[in-house]
Amino acid sequence: MNATPTRGRFGFRRDRLPSAADYYPTQGIKLIGRGAWRDTICPFHPDTRPSLRVRIETGAFRCMVCGAHGGDVLAFHMQRHGLRFIEAAKALGAWEDGQ
């Protein structure tokens, strides 16, 4: 666990990532339930029932069927759209060029 948000990857601003509650609906992901973990249809495999679980506090996700998983909305965005880290961070407004 890295306590220094800007260390390691230049320009990344984790504090600017959207919350899971804000982000997932923009991706057509409807979060079902009220607990710490929400259920939804998995976009990574042809899902017929809610197999993807999303942790609302962190944005972490895990599919109980296809095994897709990640630790935050950035990881989801990278996998969903086939983006590199920086591309996904920029798309989510969490990248600072510093220029």
Interface residues with Zn ion (CB under 5 A) are: 42, 44-45, 63, 65-66, 68
* Cα 80 to Cα 27: distance, rounded to the nearest angstrom: 9
Counting every residue, how long is the chain?
A: 99
Q: What is the closest distance, in whole angstroms, from the C-beta atom of residue 47 to Zn ion in the complex?
A: 6
Displacement of CA 42 from its chain's centroid (Å): 13
For residue 63, what are its two tokens? 């599919």
Task: Choose between 68 and 78: whose C-beta lies nearer to Zn ion.
Answer: 68
Task: Choose between 5 and 71: whose C-beta lies nearer to Zn ion.
Answer: 71
Q: What is the closest distance, in whole angstroms, from the C-beta atom of residue 70 to Zn ion in the complex?
A: 12
Task: Choose between 20 and 94: whose C-beta lies nearer to Zn ion.
Answer: 20
Q: What is the closest distance, in whole angstroms, from the C-beta atom of residue 94 to Zn ion in the complex?
A: 25
Longest Cα–Cα distance in the chain: 46
* Cα 95 to Cα 66: distance, rounded to the nearest angstrom: 30
Q: What is the closest distance, in whole angstroms, from the C-beta atom of residue 39 to Zn ion in the complex?
A: 12
For residue 49, what are its two tokens? 């029932």
Task: Choose between 44 and 85: whose C-beta lies nearer to Zn ion.
Answer: 44
